Chain A
């Protein structure tokens, strides 16, 4: 029974897509799957895909929860810049990283909470509510760094971006832990069910006794928290905070990852591990384009082609067309009582 569930999960189109992208990468670059052990950690293109995909995967985990409530969070890229800026400025002025990191995470949580307040208490559409922080957030990050790129050499903070644990790069470990903890939190408790209920019909959920406001506040705060973690990783990776470019356009990648993972933008059914797979598909495409020698500009064209393909496949019209096309004209055989 369990095994059957696992095989059916692995047969999902997302895994097929990931396998196809990885296969194309392998055709382009035969050493793609080679993984070597060096200096106590793993090296290889595959590890690189995981490592580079980790920030988007972490963002996608938070955004999945938001999208499941029929919302969207455009501000995660700006929140990344804010948390990176907070941590970098605190560390470079002599605060120990053990204090700077929690403060940066708290900053992300506060940003998410602000979005949540706008969505729940002021009843503003999520796109617009989070647009405010997307526009102003990057300005705030620049205000914190005073417009310059703040660099640091703190070992703990750069360990988050570049270190390794048990041979795996630290960002991968963080993303994996976050994915497992979040999945358990939503699937082993009623939380996931409540989120889906709010996403399908907020008023009905409220009438059913779900405290939708509290839930939405939690979900948006969680998205901000995830963005803060991703911001710390990106800052630790380059040992600096670049308020202008940290997390730029990553909100769109995160939303794309969630959509690729099969979570509907209209709320309801969601899957956090599948969103992570979506993030890996995006990163595998990016890496593939890079190693194939095309200019990185093709990234955007390929990405848009993939979105268009998925939109067409997911649309109800295409579903009707396919079912009309592939169902036999003869009436379906009646199911005999076996």
Chain B
């Protein structure tokens, strides 16, 4: 068996076991209705997590995605309700703005040689602040397109509904998988995360790739914002608070190495679904309070980081280390 697939298989196995355990307790959880809601409720998180996967694969981190989602919802709402634009034009403007925002962050990270953590932190403040300057209050969106999109879905066997936003998420995941594993850009991202210096020496365009990675992440956060506004039919500056942490957790649970250079977009999908499962289980249980979600997700995060450590320390020493590998200190 390919050793590289081990974390992905472990995540999938844990998800299936957890789902089976949940179904044994509440048989009604095994229905396309629940699965359909899984996809719909976590669509924005999934889309943002695809972008986060690319950023983490390249060895960085993007703390601004939640704020960019919030900013996008407000921008869309103001463009539609105040400026009277058609939603499709509003979507296009939003994507252009978020893509530009990501490109600037990527350029700052590359050219100013500042850790991505700090640049995207500033981006997070800027996007949240910008959103609340646009409108501190929640703006409801009323438009035919919104009502028709929220009404249209594909009926799955068993009464489940595959909504438009769930389909958008699935499409983003498929595109993400193709982009990561079947294109030149994808291999550049992996090379960059493996080792920036050797990637540059091998001829990877480091500046362009870094800028593109953050542009991709912000654009996907913009799409997630569009999906979020379709989901809630509103724009609010404080929406999607802390989604960046959920997205990072999903990526880590999905088996992507936090130091970069190693992981799968498909794993992130399982990571998102596992978080959805925890939330749904807590809703089904009824006696557990919502704060258990945070504790369980924190616990899962810890478990998977530990798992990564174990898998990679069992791997060939010196080949793929998690952090600086210790070398025996020898007196010669």
Residues of A bordering B, CB below 8 Å: 72, 118, 122-125, 127-129, 131-140, 142-143, 146-147, 202-203, 207, 243, 252, 255-256, 259, 265-266, 295, 297-305, 307-308, 311-312, 314-318
Contacts and interface: CB of A to CB of B under 8 A. Distances in A.
Interface string B108-127: 10011111011101111110
A329 B134 CA distance: 48
B29 interface: no
Which 3 residue pairs are nearest across A and B when measured between Cβ atoms? A136-B298, A300-B129, A139-B294
Given A124-B305, A311-B118, A315-B112, A304 B129 contact: yes
A301 B129 contact: yes
B249 interface: yes
Contact of B130 (A301, A312, A314): A301
Contacts of B291: 138-139, 142-143, 147, 243
Nearest to A315: B112
B297 interface: yes
Q: Which of A118, A135, A304 has the most CB of B within 10 A?
A: A135
B110 to A, nearest CB: 10
Nearest to B299: A136
Given A304-B123, A304-B126, 9 more contacts: A131-B249, A131-B301, A136-B297, A138-B291, A139-B294, A265-B118, A300-B126, A307-B122, A311-B108
Contacts of B305: 118, 122, 124, 128-129, 132
B33 interface: no
B132 A297 contact: yes
B213 interface: no
B323 interface: yes
Given A123-B309, A136-B297, A318 B112 contact: yes
Contacts of A315: 112-114
Contacts of A125: 258-259, 323
Given A122-B309, A131-B245, A300-B126, A316 B113 contact: yes
A47 to B, nearest CB: 27
A301 B130 CA distance: 6
B293 interface: yes
Contacts of B295: 136, 139-140, 143
B161 interface: no
B292 to A, nearest CB: 7
Nearest to A305: B126
A206 B166 CA distance: 51
Nearest to B112: A315
Nearest to B324: A203
A312 to B, nearest CB: 6
Interface string B224-268: 000000000000010000000100110010000011000000000
A317 B306 CA distance: 38
B159 interface: no
A140 to B, nearest CB: 6
Interface string B259-302: 10000000000000000000000000000011111110111011
A243 B291 CA distance: 10
A317 B326 CA distance: 32
Contacts of B294: 135-136, 138-139, 142
Nearest to A266: B115
Contacts, number: 135
A143 B294 CA distance: 10
Interface residues of B, number: 49
Contacts of B245: 131, 134-135
Given A301-B133, A315-B114, A122 B258 contact: no
A139 to B, nearest CB: 3
B205 interface: no
Secondary structure of the B side of the interface?
helix
B75 interface: no
A167 to B, nearest CB: 35
B125 A124 contact: no
A131 B248 contact: yes
B69 interface: no
Given A125-B259, A311-B112, A311-B114, A252 B121 contact: yes
A61 B112 CA distance: 27
Nearest to B123: A304
Interface centre among B113, B118, B124, B237, by most chain A C-beta atoms within 10 angstroms, is: B118
Contacts of B309: 122-124
A142 B124 CA distance: 26
22 contacts: A72-B117, A123-B309, A123-B322, A125-B258, A125-B259, A127-B61, A131-B301, A132-B302, A142-B291, A203-B324, A252-B124, A297-B129, A299-B129, A300-B132, A303-B129, A304-B122, A304-B129, A307-B118, A311-B118, A311-B122, A315-B114, A316-B113
B82 interface: no
Nearest to B237: A297
A68 to B, nearest CB: 15
A160 to B, nearest CB: 26
A147 to B, nearest CB: 5
A318 B323 CA distance: 30
A308 B122 CA distance: 7
A139 B298 contact: yes
Contacts of B114: 311, 314-315
Nearest to A114: B302
Contact of A135 (B115, B237, B249, B292): B249
Contacts of A243: 291
Contacts of A147: 289-291
A307 B125 contact: yes
Contacts of A123: 309, 322-323
B318 interface: no
Nearest to B108: A311
A304 B306 contact: no
A308 B305 CA distance: 32
